[in-house]
Amino acid sequence: MCYDRYASICKPLHYGTLLGSRACAHMAAAAWASAFLTALLHTANTFSLPLCHGNVLGQFFCEIPQILKLSCSKSLLGEVGLLAVSSCIGLGCFVFIVFSYVQIFRAVLRIPSEQGQQKAFSTCLPHLAVVSLFFSTVMFAHLKPPSISSPSLDLALSVLYSMVTPALNPLIYSLRNQELKAAVWRLMTGWFQQH
């Protein structure tokens, strides 16, 4: 999404060539392939871990940090290495997204009309906030020291990055619809008047 915004704001005359159907298909295929490869490596490594502390997880989500708590300490090195590589890849993606948004914001600040700037910022800032929330919760959930781990914190982090962030994008874009925004406003004011 950030590349789409970058192309539409920073290179509007080249948008069709930069984001043609072939380029979109290549980007989607690269994202799916890398996600599949990462998931496959983690799954294969996780199934090869010997479990020394039983096989009952403390929460509904079958997350890597939860499984690592059940495994023997000597066998963790491979999975920790995979987590480090995955974190580096994720951090690289996040740096690319932030760099793209820096370029976008530099271009937006050169827009002479305040209305144009406001429209561009209202399009970009929600996406940047959702991406930041996703990456920060994933990184914290997988890289936090075990000393600050608790079942409720682990569950909250899992819900944040696996359920809340994917639901935010449709919510944000539907709230840009003026009719829906007015309906939500009427619903909220009616609820507050009743209570």
pLDDT in tens, the chain (195 residues): 667 777 777 777 777 777 778 887 888 888 888 888 888 887 887 777 777 767 676 666 667 667 777 777 665 667 677 777 777 887 888 888 888 888 888 888 887 888 877 877 777 788 888 888 888 888 887 777 777 777 788 788 888 888 888 888 777 777 666 666 677 777 778 777 776
How far apart are alpha carbons 165 and 170 in whole angstroms? 10
Q: What angle do CA 33, 34, 40 make, to 5 degrees?
A: 90
Is 71 buried (19+), middle (13-18) or exposed (0-12) by CB count in 10 A? Answer: middle
How far apart are alpha carbons 44 and 42 in whole angstroms? 6
Assess contact for 67 and 46: CB atoms under 8 A: yes
- The whole-number pLDDT of residue 178 equals 67
How far apart are alpha carbons 174 and 183 in whole angstroms? 12
- The whole-number pLDDT of residue 4 equals 73
> CB 41: neighbour CB atoms within 10 A?
15
> CB 140: neighbour CB atoms within 10 A?
14
Per-residue tokens: 43: 């799954």
Residue 51 in 3-state DSSP? Answer: strand
Partners of 71 in beta bridges: 51
How far apart are alpha carbons 64 and 180 in whole angstroms? 39
Q: Read off the amino acid at residue 90.
A: G
Residue 71 in 3-state DSSP? Answer: strand
